[in-house]
Structure 1
């Protein structure tokens, strides 16, 4: 059994590429992944910037161990300093 020779012309490649693109864009998974990406990319980027800024500010600039920035005691102490009556 002989296989059909693939169309190696520019028009054939363009038609094959358009067919693959149409199938990909029409699939349910592709649409959902695009929606999820468009909703989540900015909040994830902002959360990463916040964590990176906390780590750099507390450990590099402040000279403290980087793991302490995630301790609850540190944040309770800061809250008490800001909102203390007195």
Structure 2
């Protein structure tokens, strides 16, 4: 019978080749390269991290504005300044959800 331990599960080539470099085998899960020390100043790293987290919300706000503009100004032939007036959106809400 075969012993179904970890040795039999390894590919044959890896099991047969000895470690020629003389170095100790790497620990489990150590297959990724080591992170290099950052040469950026701390303020730059913090700023870049903040910008990375803000890119999605800012893109959503820009998409909302573009959608409002296209829908209200281009398709609706209305003034662009009315986009920011709450009365405009109350009127649109009343039109959409009006009971007949």
Q: TM-score range by the shorter chain?
A: 0.5 to 0.7
What is the CA–CA distance in structure 1 between the aligned matches of 2:99 and 2:75, rounded to whole Å?
29
Question: How far is 1:70 from its partner?
Answer: 1.2
RMSD of aligned alpha carbons: 2.0
Aligned pair 1:43/2:60, yes or no? no
Flag the structure with larger Rg.
Answer: 2
Task: Choose between structure 1 and 2: higher helix proportion.
Answer: 1
Report what 1:64 is aligned to: 78
Ranked by relative contact order (alpha carbons within 8 Å, sequence separation 6 or more), the top structure is 1
What is the CA–CA distance in structure 2 between the aligned matches of 1:83 and 1:58, rounded to whole Å?
18
Unaligned runs of 5+ in 1: 1-21
What is the CA–CA distance in structure 1 between the aligned matches of 2:81 and 2:94, rounded to whole Å?
21
What is the CA–CA distance in structure 1 between the aligned matches of 2:75 and 2:97, rounded to whole Å?
25
Picking from 50, 55, 76, the partner of 2:90 is: 76
Q: How many residue pairs were aligned?
A: 64
Unaligned runs of 5+ in 2: 1-37
Which digits, 9 at most, give the CA deviation of each residue in 1:3-34, with x for residues without a partner? xxxxxxxxxxxxxxxxxxx432xx21121112
TM-score normalised over the length of structure 2 = 0.54
Deviation above 6 Å: which 4+ runs of structure 1?
Answer: none
Question: How far is 1:59 from its partner?
Answer: 0.8
Question: How far is 1:83 from its partner?
Answer: 4.2
